[in-house]
Amino acid sequence: MKYFLFIILFSLLRLDVFSQKRWPLEECISYAIQHNIPLKRQDVLIAVKNLDHDMALRERLPSVGGYLNGYSTFGHSQDVFGTIQRNDNFNSNVGINSEIVLYQYNYFRNQAKKATIQANQERIEKDILIRDLTLKVLQGYLEVLLAQSLVNSQESAIYFSIQLLDKTEKRAKVGVTAPAVVSEVKATLAREKQQYQQYHKELKLKKMTLAQLMSYPDYNLLNTDDPLLEEDVFNDKIETNKDYDIKSVLARNPIFLKFKNQLLELNIEAKIIKSGNYPLIKGSASLGTTYFNAFKASNTSSLFMQTKDNFAQQVAVAVTIPIFNKGKFKRLLQQNSLRKNEIDLLTQYEENQQIQMLQKIQIDCQENHKQYEISKEAFLATKESLEYSKLSFIAGKASIYDVNNIKNNLIKSEAEMIRSKYNALFSLLTHKYFITGNIN
């Protein structure tokens, strides 16, 4: 009776799991992207670079400022005629001034372009993070499905052993089966429970890892289930033998867009450096008035009278011509050229790495799928053999050791089939993501 209570407990646990929200792969990836902290940080960096662009555009506008100051002088002083006398006075001036850069070899325009490129660079970095996160969630999701399948498989093995133990105990009561056989079945059941606990622990760890990748608060509530996923993949909807344009595949990889964008930024940076070799022309204008009050003089005009009469305007143009800069700009341009060479080398290296990865994934797809088909055939054959062995044991033509041996082979065969199945599934989905840029 206690064994059937054990079965009922398993059933209740599984019903509790099924009552929770089910998470297909696409929803897990979408949730992870929405709640990932590094991706949110990239949005902040993009906004910062957009503000840099706005500030660079506004640098071409004139700057306008006002000034107001006053000061007093007390004590004796000597004038140009050598006369020493008391000279207490108060001076003040007030006005506004404006300054604008008239020419600097498109410096501000190039700064604005550079800020735009840097904002785009942050968007590309975000795409790279999304790509990496998607692959990690895909792997974590399939590892959870694999662990769950192993748990379900072990539950079936325990259920089979419980049924076998029940029949063996009944046969032992009537004297048909020896007590040693009952002990052997109990020992087998205990080992299977032990293995079940190990699989269950691995399942919780895999769920916790997936929840961390998704930034999901409670891994216990994360119930992964995507029945259409396996059906779509294993119905030959992903063609691994189909030829594809390697250049178009690489063009969709954001890492190469990153290198291309870096070259654009270096081209703009070179123009900004060259602007230091050209004259800088600034224009300025000011409008203001002054006030002077000699405290002991009797003919000093009033504040308002002087303010009205002392208005003055000034317009000026300042030209700064670079003559000798110690070879600084020349060497900056050389550094710029060397960084371009570095990016070209990194692009070539990454291209070789990506091609090798695509070739490996294609081989994995083909071989893992073959391995899955072979392991499935082995599992079905072993399962059929166990059914015959079970009937032979009931008829007294086979020993319990024969049944346990075949059952252990079945458990190993099923575990191998499950692992090869999810290896094939991961290879196929990774191949599809690299080729098409999407999974579902």
Question: Residue 332: pLDDT above 80?
Answer: yes
Question: Residue 220: pLDDT above 80?
Answer: yes
The 10s digit of each residue's pLDDT in 400-414 is: 788 888 888 889 999
> Is the separation of the CB atoms in 178 and 401 below 8 Å?
no
The 10s digit of each residue's pLDDT in 271-315 is: 999 998 999 999 999 988 887 777 666 666 666 677 777 777 888
Question: Residue 62: pLDDT above 50?
Answer: yes
pTM for this model (two decimals) = 0.81
E strand intervals along 153-250: 223-224
pLDDT tier at 72 (50, 70, 90 boundaries)? Answer: confident
Percent of the chain with pLDDT over 90: 48
The pLDDT score that the predictor gives to residue 16 is 47
- What is the DSSP code (8-state) at residue 19? T
Of 197-206, 214-223, 228-237, 296-305, which range is least confident? 228-237
Question: Residue 240: pLDDT above 60?
Answer: no
Closest CA to 385 of 411, 403, 412: 403
Closest CA to 321 of 282, 284, 283: 282
Q: Kindly state which CATH superfamily the domain 2-35+104-278+322-436 is placed in.
A: Outer membrane efflux proteins (OEP) (1.20.1600.10)
Of 55-59, 81-85, 256-260, which range is least confident? 81-85
Residues 254-264 as b or e (16 or more Cβ within 10 Å = b): bbbbbbebbee
Mean per-residue pLDDT, 111-131 = 95
**What's the CA gap between 190 and 410, in Å, rounded?**
17
pLDDT tier at 60 (50, 70, 90 boundaries)? Answer: confident
For residue 268, the tally of other CB atoms under 10 A from its CB is: 19
**What's the CA gap between 412 and 404, in Å, rounded?**
12
Residue 234, burial from CB neighbour count under 10 angstroms (0-12, 13-18, 19+): middle
The pLDDT score that the predictor gives to residue 17 is 44
Percent of the chain with pLDDT over 70: 88
Mean per-residue pLDDT, 5-11 = 51
The 10s digit of each residue's pLDDT in 171-211 is: 788 777 778 878 888 888 899 999 999 999 999 999 999 99
Q: Which two tokens stand for residue 249?
A: 């595949």
pLDDT tier at 170 (50, 70, 90 boundaries)? Answer: confident
Average confidence score pLDDT of the chain: 85
The 10s digit of each residue's pLDDT in 155-165 is: 988 998 898 88
pLDDT tier at 47 (50, 70, 90 boundaries)? Answer: very high
